[in-house]
């Protein structure tokens, strides 16, 4: 690659599917810091964050010939980082539960005393799917595609004020839908998944 920095994400993925190690190196250089920071925000341990970030990229390399990404590469990497971080936190919780009494470390809610983080993710995904169509579209573009309010307004042909109003509405509806989990002591996890998941 003569000028690899100018390649688009789609071009990098195409080269990856052809077993090009230089494409993997470019992908790593472009997104490693971003993925590491996303993980660190959840696990709050620099060494663990680096390990998990490396696992995300190793999985990309392992799956390079069968990888199908329907969202932006950046959003895909963030989702992979969040999923692996949640797995780490779940495993860490389970290790604590083995060392100490179960009652101290279970994530409990009134509805479901044995709620696991992946189940919580399912509830959040369901709550997002239940948003009104335009509200859901704006929310997904903002939180999952990481588009700015201006980019969303341009893409959907609406004003920035409308984008802001739809985000406020989405967050209000999500808080209402997820109230049992927030009241059950999972506020920080819910907020992380909504804002960064």
Residue 53 has pLDDT above 90, yes or no: yes
Is the same domain home to 177 and 118?
yes
Is the same domain home to 89 and 169?
no
User: What's the pLDDT tens digit per position in 171-194?
Assistant: 888 888 877 766 555 555 555 555
User: What's the pLDDT tens digit per position in 151-166?
Assistant: 899 999 999 899 889 9
Is the same domain home to 70 and 90?
yes
User: What's the pLDDT tens digit per position in 94-140?
Assistant: 665 555 444 334 444 444 444 556 677 777 788 888 999 999 899 88
Is the same domain home to 93 and 120?
no
Is the same domain home to 119 and 195?
yes
Is the same domain home to 155 and 179?
yes
Q: Give, to the nearest 10 degrees, the angle between helix 21-43 and helix 187-196.
A: 150
| CATH number of the domain that residue 195 is part of | 1.10.10.10
Residue 31 has pLDDT above 90, yes or no: yes
Is the same domain home to 136 and 89?
no
Tell me what the mean pLDDT of segment 60-88 comes to.
Answer: 88
* pLDDT at residue number 184: 55
CA gap 4, 45 in Å, rounded: 32
* pLDDT at residue number 33: 93
- Residue ending a domain, choose from 70, 103, 136: 103
Choose the most confident range, by mean pLDDT, from 23-32, 124-133, 144-153.
23-32
Residue 45 has pLDDT above 80, yes or no: yes
Is the same domain home to 96 and 159?
no
Is the same domain home to 82 and 113?
no
* pLDDT at residue number 35: 94
Residue 71 has pLDDT above 90, yes or no: no
Total domain count, the chain: 2
Is the same domain home to 98 and 6?
yes
Q: Which domain holds residue 38?
A: 1-103
Is the same domain home to 127 and 79?
no
Tell me what the mean pLDDT of segment 50-58 comes to.
Answer: 93
The burial class, CB within 10 Å (0-12 / 13-18 / 19+), for 152 is buried
User: Which one has a higher pLDDT value, 31 or 173?
Assistant: 31
Is the same domain home to 53 and 89?
yes
Task: Give the dihedral sign, CA 48/49/54/60.
Answer: positive
- Residue ending a domain, choose from 46, 80, 103: 103
CA gap 105, 69 in Å, rounded: 36
Residue 34 has pLDDT above 70, yes or no: yes
| CATH number of the domain that residue 49 is part of | 1.10.1740.10
Tell me what the mean pLDDT of segment 59-67 comes to.
Answer: 90
* pLDDT at residue number 168: 86
- Residue ending a domain, choose from 103, 120, 149: 103
């Amino acid at each position: 690659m003569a000028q690899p920095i100018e390649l688009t994400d789609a071009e990098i993925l195409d080269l990856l599917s052809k077993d090009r190690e230089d494409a993997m190196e470019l992908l790593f250089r472009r997104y490693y810091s971003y993925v590491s920071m996303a993980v660190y925000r959840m696990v709050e341990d620099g060494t663990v964050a680096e390990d998990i970030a490396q696992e995300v990229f190793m999985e990309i390399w392992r799956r390079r010939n069968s990888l199908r990404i329907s969202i932006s590469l950046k959003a895909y990497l963030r989702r992979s980082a969040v999923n692996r971080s949640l797995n780490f936190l779940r495993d860490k919780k389970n290790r604590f539960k083995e060392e100490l009494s179960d009652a101290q470390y279970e994530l409990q809610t009134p509805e479901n005393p044995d709620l696991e983080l992946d189940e919580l993710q399912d509830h959040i995904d369901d709550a997002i799917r239940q948003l009104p169509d335009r509200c859901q579209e704006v929310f997904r573009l903002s939180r999952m595609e990481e588009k700015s309010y201006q980019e969303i307004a341009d893409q959907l042909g609406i004003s920035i004020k409308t984008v802001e109003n739809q985000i406020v509405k989405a967050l209000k509806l999500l808080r209402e839908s997820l109230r049992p989990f927030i009241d059950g002591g999972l506020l920080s996890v819910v907020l992380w998944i909504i804002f960064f998941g």
